[in-house]
């Protein structure tokens, strides 16, 4: 009964009007999820809602979790469906195209995405970290925004994975590249590496983990030389790309 009452109260709160200057913006509930987020054997509630009329996109997430204050986050632009390749390659705790949830003994991580536009640019991409009953938006970038030394454009989200086997999840993504020359056995194209962010309350880009991941799955190039090299992409997809050593190199 307690869970039902809390859920009802929270649903009302999620659909009430928010004061914005002299205008009131109404949020309509899009989807509701019931899940134990913080491993305390109690059912928590997540509500996705929208003030965007006539769209399936949404721009607010509300989290009601035992042991924490009721928490709302609003999109800078909007969220929609997460890229399908990411949902296929990663297992979520909920069956949804709009939200991805994964947890370990250490923390829980929620992913929201604005998708990718027709030109291949990533929309707003957001990560919420839940740890020690603290709920925090730790990653929230749109195309071209800076995160320290790199410009973030989450065009191809790859993995949410425990790379160091310590129950700390890491987010891996890449960007679209292009082929511009055909050679025997493959194509020559741009360098578009994997970027690794450690998901914690800071969620910073990890050069060390990115280097290790690229060495294992792709090619690693010192960031200072990224714009000066070409990559050979074999037609045989079983072979890994490599630095191109053709004419002029």
- Tens-digit pLDDT profile for residues 71-118: 999 999 999 999 999 999 999 999 999 999 999 999 999 999 998 776
80 within a domain of the structure (yes/no) = yes
Residue from 116, 209, 127, 211 nearest 154 by CA = 116
User: 94 has which bridge partners?
Assistant: none
Q: Which tokens in the block code for residue 175?
A: 């960007």
Determine the structural domain holding residue 133 and report its residue range.
2-175
pLDDT of residue 227: 67
User: In sequence order, what are the beta bridge partners of 64?
Assistant: 45
Phi-psi region of 110 (alpha: psi -120 to 50; beta: other; left: phi over 0): beta
In a domain, 180, yes or no: no
At residue 5, the pLDDT reads: 37
With respect to residue 233, please indicate whether it lies within any of the assigned structural domains.
no
Is residue 99 within 8 Å of residue 33, measured between CB atoms?
yes
- Asked if residue 224 has pLDDT above 80, the reply is no
pLDDT digit string (tens) for 155-170?
A: 999 999 999 999 999 9
Closest CA to 29 of 84, 113, 98: 98
Beta 150-152 vs 134-141: how paired, if at all?
A: unpaired
pLDDT at residue 146, as a whole number? 83
3-state secondary structure of 13: helix
- Residue 240 placed within a domain: no
107 belongs to a structural domain: yes
Segment 191-219 shows an average pLDDT of 96
pLDDT surpasses 70 at 246: no
pLDDT confidence of 30, banded at 50, 70, 90? Answer: very high
Nearest-5° Cα angle at 76, 75 to 82: 50
**Residue 130 falls inside a structural domain:** yes
Report the domain count for the chain: 1
Is there a contact between 210 and 197 (Cβ–Cβ < 8 Å)?
A: no
- 49 located within any domain: yes
């Amino acid at each position: 009964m307690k869970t039902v009452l809390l859920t009802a109260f929270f649903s009302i709160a999620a659909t009430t009007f928010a004061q914005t200057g002299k205008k009131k913006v109404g949020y309509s509930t899009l989807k509701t999820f019931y899940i134990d987020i913080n491993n305390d054997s109690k059912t928590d509630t997540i509500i996705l809602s929208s003030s965007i009329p006539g769209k399936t996109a949404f721009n607010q997430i509300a989290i009601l979790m035992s042991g924490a204050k009721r928490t709302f986050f609003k999109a800078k632009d909007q969220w929609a469906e997460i890229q399908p390749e990411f949902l296929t390659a990663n297992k979520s705790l909920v069956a949804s195209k709009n939200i991805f949830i994964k947890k370990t003994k250490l923390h829980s991580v929620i992913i929201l995405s604005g998708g990718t536009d027709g030109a291949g640019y990533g929309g707003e991409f957001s990560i919420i970290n839940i740890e020690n009953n603290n709920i925090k938006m730790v990653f929230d970038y749109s195309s071209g925004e800076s995160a320290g030394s790199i410009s973030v454009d989450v065009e191809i989200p790859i993995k949410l994975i425990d790379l160091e086997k310590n129950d700390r999840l890491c987010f891996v993504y890449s960007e679209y590249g292009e082929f511009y020359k055909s050679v025997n056995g493959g194509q020559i194209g741009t360098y578009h590496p994997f970027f690794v962010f450690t998901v914690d309350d800071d969620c910073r880009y990890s050069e060390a983990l990115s280097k290790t991941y690229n060495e294992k799955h792709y090619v690693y190039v010192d960031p200072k030389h990224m714009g000066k090299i070409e990559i050979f992409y074999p037609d045989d997809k079983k072979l890994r790309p490599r630095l191109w050593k053709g004419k002029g190199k």
